[in-house]
Structure 1
């Protein structure tokens, strides 16, 4: 298999669900150009109308739920909904089970304090998480499937249980960056089915050693439940830019990883900074699809006009493959794997069509794919 790369940014065709036009431009770059034609004032009026529909008349009642992590985008979401839209939000966060960074500890407290919001923190079942995380890593290369699944389902179940229909998510990942649901829409109702849906039947997890009664919330909500809710993407209503969100969040007390951790496989210090082991999930795109977070962010920065394509290529080549040892150490510490077991499992997950091992036993993209990224041919 030969990889193909976007001529404008550096996103490859191996990203699940991404599409390209005849000129070799990825859908994320095409959508970025379309956003320049959007009347954002009119979109803001649409958001106001939606908020007015769900605004409660009694003081102190929650008008909406916002799914948050404490990150830069979460800070911006809460600002828009509470300070601009004048809504009374309840924040819901799903914790992971890895060692938190000092910045992560600060930020999850800061988002409540900076905006004056109540927050529910859902703590997943650690016993189930240990088994599922190792099983899903070794068999599917999706080590954080369990917590990522809960990130999608838990806010929906809470919204239904508390009778708060309006549920606010951040960006439509497929539209902003390319994916299976790349059509522009404000509704996030189908998000729970967009690829984070179970790759396995729950019985398979039971067979792996997790009792069925410890697998709550992994099933998608019923259609009847979803039809009573109004989950939305905020990125439909406001122009989404992760760097601008970061600059805003800093002014409201958000802390990045400056002086704490220079991650060897990232090109920035402000995204997904809550914990160590969780970052394995994003890096696993590299052995499976030939790109990881360095590519993701370099591509976004090309679209934002912050990098040239050549500068982005250099960052991806230097950083994508170089997984930080702290990530491995934290993941192995939680799951009980030894480093040897980790790398033996990892070696089996590399896509042999994309990669070859060098004389040191390191996996690297095949030269033809490196050359194609540098000079894409369509």
Structure 2
């Protein structure tokens, strides 16, 4: 199968690229190389004859038309997006342009390409989204594919809009789409502005470990390589027009998660005195902070046979070990704009 992966130099996209190439697929990695992208993420496959790279912006229709006509993919896996909630609070315009306008432009290019190819029923436009489009849960329940959309941040609103566009292009134009909504990802190559890498790297640097509010916000944590496995399964076997929720079945409060990370660091890189947990600091919550996310992955499990293989305890240990072994990777990224700063405090 020949895949065009947008955002393939990012965190989740690069995991998809690495796994797809390892499984024998041909992959075209399309990435604009904005601040959160890093070609080192795909260095292990860069010389593989089944891999190629195109630097382009999904808002550039001419570039999208050229790339599709040249490479003739069997499927598009659309992961390119602005994804950091805090940055969306400070600068929502970029999220509207990339996540909404960019998805629209890519959809139109994909539709034109699909029509030019004779409308093959085997073609897929796979849109990868987030559970944040569903809003916030109370202490009980889980998001299903039928949960009404209720986005609370500029980021989640822009992703919700892109989900609706993809569904509309299927119902109006017949474009063969599949859609997935995932829970919080973590693992190797996670850009160092997100919670888990922030905690690891601040701990190592002796800095405060910031936790929003009282740390009671709950997330369902999905190891990124499990997610990549699910995405490749959906693009090949998912039913056209169907959406699938992909979750890790690993709910943890932010405070419990940070304490777990501190425990692993205490074991693997102990401090001269005390615990890394001594550095935990509670900070003012961000505006519109959702209380709890939890995914019900029953559909993808029942219909496609997928289940997460990595527990959060195992995944966190793997992640900490990876950051300890890859200091050169994360130190270079810490120099990029906004990394290490408190963002998302505008109101």
Task: Tell me the TM-score normalized by structure 2.
Answer: 0.37
Task: Tell me the TM-score normalized by structure 1.
Answer: 0.34
Higher relative contact order (CA 8 A, sep 6+): 1
Query: Which structure's residues are more often strand, by fraction?
Result: 2
**Greater Rg by CA:** 1
